[in-house]
Structure 1
Amino acid sequence: MEMARNRNIQNIIPIGGAGTGGRDRAAKFWEEMNKDQINQNSLELARSSIFVLCLDDENVDKIDNLNQMEIDGMQILYGFGPEYNGLNRWFDSTIQEKQKEQKCENNLTIIEPKPLSWVVSEKANLLLGEQIVEFEQLTNNLQLNLLQFNEFGKDSIKGWGVSPDGFMQLCMQLAHFRLHGYLVNSYESATMRRFRFGRVDNIRAATPEALNWVKSMNSPNEEKKRKRILLKMAFDKQSLITKENLIGNGIDNHLCALEVLSREEFGLENLPEIFQDEMWKEMMRFPLSTSQVSTSPEFINCYLYYGPVVDDGYGCAYNIQPNSLM
């Protein structure tokens, strides 16, 4: 921990910052760094590690109006940016364990850490600086909140004869409509594991049926019976789209494959009209990125955070519990 604190004093270059900004720039950075054998050896040690341990300083004094779970989430997600703990991360690692300073309760044999050596050229240093500037901009533009709903959960929703996942998707569309006045392209992964080499397709929730329902919910003159009918229609459509994706009949993979093949066949200049239309670009943009990651009720306060995929979007991970929603 003391070594981590002395980083600035020792003028150690924060190599971990390379993974914080754009991927293209990160690739250029490592292409430049790998010209030196010392850097190749150090990078291989980092890449081949089972996990990365990040030694963090506590900085909760800068946080206002956030609960502890939100503070912990920000610490885990991005370390509060480059000014605090964000540059001691190795964001390309799948597993990163964050640890603040504490007393050791047991007698342990401490293995002395050995610093990795890096040779940073002027070009690489400039690229690293640009990454860190972008990282700061991204973190300053991120607002993170955890919303806990305890009125009902999965058990009640199933009792109403609807899918809990579909329920959450329509609720997010309703929330977006009330905030912005329109539905929004959303992304929810549908597993394609039943197919060889299958990965995912996209379950879209912004449907005409969903629009009719959210409009009725915002209409003070609409009867409750009519709202329930429209909600049922929206649920049925959401369920149909989900089933179509799971059996390989989704539209996203199919159209994206056609676009890739068209680029190879015709080039960017002569793409079919559908792929030159502004509607196609908007269709492939996802201001609402969603993912259900539900955990066992045995694991209390277990939750997931991630950021949006576009500057003006939302990243909404949700956790459906028997009697609550997060």
Structure 2
Amino acid sequence: EEHLAALTAAPRDMWAQVRSSLKIQAEDALEAVEGAAFFVSLDSEPAGLTREDPAASLDAYARALLAGRGHDRWFDKSFTLIVFSNGKLGLSVEHSWADCPISGHMWEFTLATECFQLGYSADGHCKGHPEPSLPQPQRLHWDLPEKIRLSISLALRGAKTLSGNIDCHVFPFSHFGKSFIKRCHLSSDSFTQVALQLAHFRDRGEFCLTYESTMTRLFLEGRTETVRSCTREACNFVRAMEDKEKTEPQRRALFRLAVEKHQALLKAAMSGQGVDRHLFALYIVSQFLHLRSPFLDQVHSEQWQLATSQIPVQQIHLFDVHNYPDYVSSGGGFGPADDHGYGVSYIFMGDDTITFHISSKKSSTKTDSHRLGQHIEDALLDVASLFQEGQRPKPRCRGLPEEDSGHRGSCLPCHKRGSKATTKSTNF
């Protein structure tokens, strides 16, 4: 029973077959789990930022939220609330029911309510009084025949292999943030996306198909569309940055062109003029009609080696982020979309910090999350120097505090207290 949830990390066809058996053998218990609003995991190990090794502990924190131990998350559930033994907590979110702005807003609302409305007593306990009329927890009874037990063991082995293969790296970039970018009269998202192209090229020595998700919520039931950030304009800028013969004015002009192109693609995607959802629909229709299209086959087979997303902040006003910057969420991350690719998400925390969440697979000889993180930092500084008369922004600490304040409920803290993050679970 302890490892039952590992089945939700198994391939879908295998889990579907075992689930059919479970509906017969343990219908009431399965219905109780699947009918719940969300799943709560009480982890037996502590997590969070530590004074002894802040960088490594932050990475381990992110990995624990993303993958767990393979059997302590019910991955089918809309979200799993993960509570570690030292009171730290975070989320693992299943993606099909909602996109990042929804789960992110939910977590920001939780953070703001906890800090500014509910609060804690002087000794660290939650304010308020217990509700004695609530029913006591009841143990679920599972009748697991040997065949299902074997399936659980097999699923657990596969889940541990997958979770152990994830390489997570989280770092707050605190040299500058959106306030500096705005002073350059540039879009902060486009600035970051073009800088990511430079960082990835330095990491791999080549350009790659790049995915950035954007919202189509202008439309009824709109979800997402893809912005293909690796444009000709971005490539021209990257080549210029690596060409010693190019001058800073030339590089700056090419950078502005790349940003303008990205902005145009972003606006087109948000207004329903993207191409990827259209191509996907055509592919599905071709499969349904048993029509082979070499063009659609090629499009469908292309791998996104760089999957990116910006985490939205303060979609509605919850509190004054300028007066309380330490309570801004530090975002969340997701797994890579390709065996030899990266997953990169970022969030603008206040005016002067950008926190990056980078993931890749340890089994790949082509990727290294920490290496890409260093390239991202260098690329951002190099781009910023184009707008500061050749001077890099003054180096500062990479954003990690000296110690963890121990604030209850914090998740991936990057400041002195209260920072939190959601971490989305994906197929990795």
With normalisation by structure 1, the TM-score equals 0.83
Matched, 1:198 2:222: yes
Q: Secondary structure at the match of 1:201?
A: strand
How far, CA to CA, are the matches of 1:153 and 1:142 in structure 2?
28
Q: Secondary structure at the match of 1:317?
A: strand
Higher deviation after alignment, 94-103 or 40-49: 94-103
The root-mean-square deviation of aligned C-alpha atoms, in Å, is: 2.6
Match of 1:289 among 307, 313, 316: 307
Matched, 1:51 2:38: yes
Match of 1:274 among 292, 295, 299: 295
How far, CA to CA, are the matches of 2:328 and 2:43 in structure 1?
24
Of Structure 1 and Structure 2, the greater helix share is in 1
Q: Secondary structure at the match of 1:147?
A: strand
How big is the shift at 1:210? 1.0
Match of 2:76 among 92, 97, 105: 92
Match of 1:316 among 344, 357, 368: 344
How far, CA to CA, are the matches of 2:136 and 2:226 in structure 1?
48
- Amino acid across the alignment from 1:129: S
Please list, as runs of the form range in 1=range in 2, the aligned pairs for 1:29-40 lying within 5 A after superposition: 29-36=18-25, 39-40=26-27
Distance 1:303 1:14, change over 3 A: same
How far, CA to CA, are the matches of 2:125 and 2:282 in structure 1?
60
Structure 2 gaps, min length 5: 88-123, 315-320, 356-428
Percent of residue pairs bearing the same amino acid type:
27
How big is the shift at 1:300? 4.1
Q: Secondary structure at the match of 1:50?
A: coil
How big is the shift at 1:71? 3.0
Distance 1:247 1:76, change over 3 A: same
The Cα offsets for residues 157-183 of structure 1, whole Å up to 9 and x where unpaired, read as: 122121111111112221111111112
How big is the shift at 1:227? 0.8
Distance 1:127 1:311, change over 3 A: farther
Please list, as runs of the form range in 1=range in 2, the aligned pairs for 1:3-82 lying within 5 A after superposition: 12-36=1-25, 39-58=26-45, 66-79=55-68, 81-82=69-70
Q: Is the 1:307–1:315 contact (alpha carbons within 8 Å) kept by the matching residues of 2?
A: yes
How big is the shift at 1:315? 1.6
How big is the shift at 1:64? 7.1
The Cα offsets for residues 103-123 of structure 1, whole Å up to 9 and x where unpaired, read as: 995885696432211122333
With normalisation by structure 2, the TM-score equals 0.64
How far, CA to CA, are the matches of 2:339 and 2:261 in structure 1?
29
How far, CA to CA, are the matches of 1:237 and 1:258 in structure 2?
26
Distance 1:98 1:196, change over 3 A: closer
Higher deviation after alignment, 26-35 or 178-187: 26-35
Distance 1:309 1:276, change over 3 A: closer
Query: Greater relative contact order (Cα 8 A, min sep 6): structure 1 or 2?
Result: 2
The Cα offsets for residues 103-160 of structure 1, whole Å up to 9 and x where unpaired, read as: 9958856964322111223333333223222211212211111121111111111221
Distance 1:202 1:105, change over 3 A: closer
Match of 1:7 in 2: none
- Amino acid across the alignment from 1:26: W
Structure 1 gaps, min length 5: 1-11
Match of 1:305 among 293, 308, 333: 333
How far, CA to CA, are the matches of 2:156 and 2:207 in structure 1?
34
Q: How many residues align?
A: 301
Please list, as runs of the form range in 1=range in 2, the aligned pairs for 1:167-206 lying within 5 A after superposition: 167-206=191-230
How big is the shift at 1:238? 0.6
